[in-house]
Amino acid sequence: MIERPPARPWLGGIELDVQPDTVQRRDAPRRTLVRTGRGAATTEHTLAPEGEPVRLAWRTFTIDWGHLAAAARQQVGHLLAPCRALDLVTWHDEHELAWIGTGERRAFRWPNGWRVATDLATPSGGLAPARFAPALYLGAGHLVTGAEVDPMPAAGVDDATYDGGDPDPGEMWWRLGGSHFKLGTAPAAGEVLVASMVPAYRVLEDAAPQDRALQRPLPEPYRLVLQEARRLEGAA
Protein backbone atom coordinates (compact mmCIF):
# COMPACT_ATOMS: atom_id res chain seq x y z
CA MET A 1 0.00 0.00 0.00
CA ILE A 2 1.27 3.46 -0.92
CA GLU A 3 1.06 5.99 1.94
CA ARG A 4 1.28 9.70 1.09
CA PRO A 5 2.33 12.29 3.66
CA PRO A 6 0.00 15.29 4.16
CA ALA A 7 0.78 18.42 2.15
CA ARG A 8 -1.01 21.76 1.84
CA PRO A 9 -3.43 22.21 -1.09
CA TRP A 10 -2.26 24.20 -4.12
CA LEU A 11 -4.44 26.32 -6.41
CA GLY A 12 -3.29 28.13 -9.55
CA GLY A 13 0.30 28.46 -8.35
CA ILE A 14 -0.59 29.44 -4.76
CA GLU A 15 -0.02 27.16 -1.79
CA LEU A 16 -3.12 27.50 0.39
CA ASP A 17 -2.34 27.88 4.08
CA VAL A 18 -5.01 25.38 5.16
CA GLN A 19 -4.85 21.87 6.50
CA PRO A 20 -5.35 19.13 3.86
CA ASP A 21 -8.43 17.76 5.63
CA THR A 22 -10.28 21.09 5.28
CA VAL A 23 -10.82 20.40 1.56
CA GLN A 24 -14.04 18.45 1.01
CA ARG A 25 -14.74 16.48 -2.16
CA ARG A 26 -17.99 15.29 -3.71
CA ASP A 27 -18.20 12.95 -6.72
CA ALA A 28 -20.88 12.99 -9.43
CA PRO A 29 -20.72 10.03 -11.85
CA ARG A 30 -20.37 11.01 -15.47
CA ARG A 31 -23.74 10.12 -16.99
CA THR A 32 -25.56 10.34 -20.30
CA LEU A 33 -29.19 11.46 -20.54
CA VAL A 34 -31.12 9.27 -22.98
CA ARG A 35 -34.56 10.44 -24.19
CA THR A 36 -37.18 8.01 -25.46
CA GLY A 37 -39.65 8.66 -28.27
CA ARG A 38 -42.45 9.59 -25.86
CA GLY A 39 -40.55 12.34 -24.12
CA ALA A 40 -39.51 10.29 -21.11
CA ALA A 41 -35.87 10.41 -20.05
CA THR A 42 -33.55 7.98 -18.37
CA THR A 43 -30.00 8.43 -17.15
CA GLU A 44 -27.24 5.97 -17.91
CA HIS A 45 -23.60 5.77 -16.96
CA THR A 46 -21.29 7.15 -19.62
CA LEU A 47 -19.16 4.54 -21.34
CA ALA A 48 -15.49 5.26 -20.78
CA PRO A 49 -13.79 6.80 -23.82
CA GLU A 50 -11.09 4.62 -25.31
CA GLY A 51 -8.07 4.45 -23.02
CA GLU A 52 -9.79 6.03 -19.99
CA PRO A 53 -10.56 4.13 -16.77
CA VAL A 54 -13.80 2.21 -16.35
CA ARG A 55 -15.20 4.36 -13.54
CA LEU A 56 -15.71 8.04 -14.38
CA ALA A 57 -16.91 10.92 -12.20
CA TRP A 58 -16.68 14.69 -11.98
CA ARG A 59 -15.26 16.14 -8.74
CA THR A 60 -16.50 19.15 -6.79
CA PHE A 61 -14.27 20.63 -4.07
CA THR A 62 -15.31 22.87 -1.20
CA ILE A 63 -13.09 25.01 1.05
CA ASP A 64 -14.51 27.22 3.79
CA TRP A 65 -13.29 30.77 3.31
CA GLY A 66 -12.83 31.01 7.06
CA HIS A 67 -9.93 28.54 6.84
CA LEU A 68 -7.95 30.94 4.62
CA ALA A 69 -5.88 33.79 6.00
CA ALA A 70 -6.79 37.29 4.80
CA ALA A 71 -3.83 37.49 2.41
CA ALA A 72 -4.69 34.09 0.92
CA ARG A 73 -8.34 35.12 0.46
CA GLN A 74 -7.19 38.14 -1.53
CA GLN A 75 -4.84 36.03 -3.66
CA VAL A 76 -7.54 33.48 -4.38
CA GLY A 77 -10.03 36.24 -5.20
CA HIS A 78 -7.63 37.65 -7.79
CA LEU A 79 -7.12 34.18 -9.26
CA LEU A 80 -10.87 33.69 -9.62
CA ALA A 81 -11.61 37.14 -11.05
CA PRO A 82 -10.83 36.32 -14.74
CA CYS A 83 -13.23 33.30 -14.60
CA ARG A 84 -10.60 30.99 -16.08
CA ALA A 85 -9.91 27.36 -15.31
CA LEU A 86 -7.27 26.81 -12.62
CA ASP A 87 -5.14 23.86 -11.60
CA LEU A 88 -5.95 22.39 -8.17
CA VAL A 89 -3.83 19.90 -6.25
CA THR A 90 -5.17 18.51 -2.97
CA TRP A 91 -2.32 15.97 -2.58
CA HIS A 92 -4.89 13.25 -1.92
CA ASP A 93 -4.80 9.93 -3.75
CA GLU A 94 -7.33 8.83 -6.33
CA HIS A 95 -7.72 5.07 -5.85
CA GLU A 96 -10.81 4.20 -7.95
CA LEU A 97 -8.87 3.90 -11.20
CA ALA A 98 -9.00 0.70 -13.23
CA TRP A 99 -8.57 -0.23 -16.88
CA ILE A 100 -9.40 -3.56 -18.53
CA GLY A 101 -6.71 -5.00 -20.76
CA THR A 102 -7.31 -5.92 -24.38
CA GLY A 103 -4.10 -7.86 -24.97
CA GLU A 104 -2.86 -5.12 -27.33
CA ARG A 105 -3.40 -1.70 -25.78
CA ARG A 106 -0.40 -0.23 -23.96
CA ALA A 107 -1.37 3.46 -24.00
CA PHE A 108 -3.92 4.87 -21.55
CA ARG A 109 -5.18 8.17 -20.16
CA TRP A 110 -5.99 9.62 -16.78
CA PRO A 111 -9.67 10.65 -16.57
CA ASN A 112 -11.01 14.20 -17.01
CA GLY A 113 -7.70 15.51 -18.32
CA TRP A 114 -5.91 14.93 -15.01
CA ARG A 115 -2.16 15.37 -14.86
CA VAL A 116 0.33 14.08 -12.29
CA ALA A 117 0.39 16.65 -9.49
CA THR A 118 4.17 16.93 -9.21
CA ASP A 119 4.41 17.93 -12.88
CA LEU A 120 2.84 21.26 -11.86
CA ALA A 121 3.31 21.74 -8.12
CA THR A 122 5.86 21.06 -5.40
CA PRO A 123 4.58 19.51 -2.15
CA SER A 124 4.88 21.67 0.94
CA GLY A 125 7.18 21.07 3.88
CA GLY A 126 10.12 19.90 1.79
CA LEU A 127 8.42 16.60 1.00
CA ALA A 128 10.06 14.66 -1.83
CA PRO A 129 8.01 14.76 -5.07
CA ALA A 130 8.88 11.09 -5.65
CA ARG A 131 6.61 10.20 -2.72
CA PHE A 132 3.64 11.35 -4.83
CA ALA A 133 4.45 9.43 -8.02
CA PRO A 134 1.70 7.28 -9.61
CA ALA A 135 1.50 3.67 -8.44
CA LEU A 136 0.25 1.12 -10.98
CA TYR A 137 -0.37 -2.59 -10.54
CA LEU A 138 -1.28 -5.33 -13.01
CA GLY A 139 -3.99 -7.44 -11.46
CA ALA A 140 -5.88 -6.72 -8.27
CA GLY A 141 -5.24 -9.93 -6.33
CA HIS A 142 -3.05 -8.17 -3.77
CA LEU A 143 -5.99 -5.93 -2.85
CA VAL A 144 -7.95 -9.01 -1.77
CA THR A 145 -5.16 -10.88 -0.02
CA GLY A 146 -3.48 -7.84 1.52
CA ALA A 147 -0.09 -8.99 0.22
CA GLU A 148 2.58 -6.34 -0.08
CA VAL A 149 3.27 -5.79 -3.79
CA ASP A 150 5.54 -3.12 -5.22
CA PRO A 151 4.07 -0.94 -7.98
CA MET A 152 5.63 -1.15 -11.40
CA PRO A 153 8.56 1.24 -11.95
CA ALA A 154 7.23 4.56 -13.29
CA ALA A 155 8.84 7.69 -14.69
CA GLY A 156 7.68 10.99 -16.17
CA VAL A 157 9.31 11.70 -19.53
CA ASP A 158 9.28 14.64 -21.92
CA ASP A 159 7.35 14.71 -25.20
CA ALA A 160 10.32 13.68 -27.34
CA THR A 161 11.08 10.65 -25.21
CA TYR A 162 7.43 9.67 -24.89
CA ASP A 163 6.71 9.92 -28.62
CA GLY A 164 9.99 8.41 -29.73
CA GLY A 165 10.32 5.35 -27.54
CA ASP A 166 8.73 2.88 -25.17
CA PRO A 167 9.33 1.88 -21.55
CA ASP A 168 10.98 -1.44 -20.83
CA PRO A 169 8.71 -4.44 -20.22
CA GLY A 170 7.07 -4.18 -16.81
CA GLU A 171 7.61 -0.41 -16.60
CA MET A 172 5.40 2.65 -17.10
CA TRP A 173 6.00 6.13 -18.54
CA TRP A 174 3.74 9.12 -18.21
CA ARG A 175 3.94 12.23 -20.37
CA LEU A 176 5.20 15.14 -18.23
CA GLY A 177 2.47 17.75 -17.98
CA GLY A 178 0.04 15.55 -19.93
CA SER A 179 -2.76 13.08 -19.35
CA HIS A 180 -1.34 10.05 -21.18
CA PHE A 181 0.75 7.15 -19.95
CA LYS A 182 1.90 3.89 -21.48
CA LEU A 183 3.25 0.54 -20.40
CA GLY A 184 6.13 -1.51 -21.68
CA THR A 185 3.89 -4.58 -21.74
CA ALA A 186 0.23 -4.65 -22.76
CA PRO A 187 -2.10 -6.11 -20.10
CA ALA A 188 -3.61 -9.41 -21.21
CA ALA A 189 -7.20 -9.44 -22.42
CA GLY A 190 -9.44 -9.09 -19.38
CA GLU A 191 -6.53 -8.35 -17.04
CA VAL A 192 -7.16 -5.44 -14.69
CA LEU A 193 -4.73 -2.52 -14.41
CA VAL A 194 -5.29 -0.54 -11.20
CA ALA A 195 -3.67 2.70 -10.10
CA SER A 196 -3.33 5.18 -7.29
CA MET A 197 -2.31 8.67 -8.34
CA VAL A 198 -2.27 12.20 -6.96
CA PRO A 199 -3.76 14.38 -9.72
CA ALA A 200 -3.76 18.00 -10.69
CA TYR A 201 -7.42 18.78 -11.44
CA ARG A 202 -8.60 21.48 -13.82
CA VAL A 203 -11.33 23.43 -12.00
CA LEU A 204 -13.66 26.41 -12.31
CA GLU A 205 -15.46 28.29 -9.56
CA ASP A 206 -19.04 27.11 -9.12
CA ALA A 207 -21.37 29.71 -10.60
CA ALA A 208 -24.20 28.98 -8.15
CA PRO A 209 -25.15 32.09 -6.14
CA GLN A 210 -24.15 32.31 -2.50
CA ASP A 211 -25.35 34.67 0.21
CA ARG A 212 -22.84 37.25 1.39
CA ALA A 213 -22.94 38.54 4.96
CA LEU A 214 -21.33 41.95 4.44
CA GLN A 215 -21.74 43.01 8.06
CA ARG A 216 -19.54 40.15 9.23
CA PRO A 217 -15.72 39.99 9.28
CA LEU A 218 -15.70 37.74 6.19
CA PRO A 219 -17.63 39.44 3.37
CA GLU A 220 -16.81 36.63 0.97
CA PRO A 221 -19.11 33.64 0.42
CA TYR A 222 -18.84 31.17 3.26
CA ARG A 223 -17.53 28.48 0.94
CA LEU A 224 -15.28 28.38 -2.08
CA VAL A 225 -16.75 25.75 -4.42
CA LEU A 226 -14.66 24.50 -7.34
CA GLN A 227 -15.92 22.11 -10.02
CA GLU A 228 -13.89 20.16 -12.50
CA ALA A 229 -13.86 21.90 -15.88
CA ARG A 230 -15.75 19.77 -18.37
CA ARG A 231 -14.13 21.05 -21.56
CA LEU A 232 -10.99 19.03 -21.92
CA GLU A 233 -9.50 20.54 -25.06
CA GLY A 234 -5.74 20.51 -25.12
CA ALA A 235 -5.45 17.58 -22.73
CA ALA A 236 -2.16 16.02 -23.76
pLDDT of residue 178: 96
> In whole angstroms, what is the distance from residue 236 CA to residue 86 CA?
16
Say if residue 190's pLDDT is above 70. yes
pLDDT of residue 146: 62
How many percent of the chain have pLDDT more than 70?
A: 76
For 27-66, what is each residue's pLDDT tens digit? 777 665 455 556 565 555 556 678 889 888 888 988 887 7
- First-to-last alpha carbon distance for the chain, in angstroms, is 29
Residue 78 burial by Cβ neighbours in a 10 Å radius (0-12, 13-18, 19+): exposed
For 115-142, what is each residue's pLDDT tens digit? 999 999 999 888 899 989 999 999 766 5
Binned at pLDDT 50, 70 and 90, residue 17 comes out as: confident
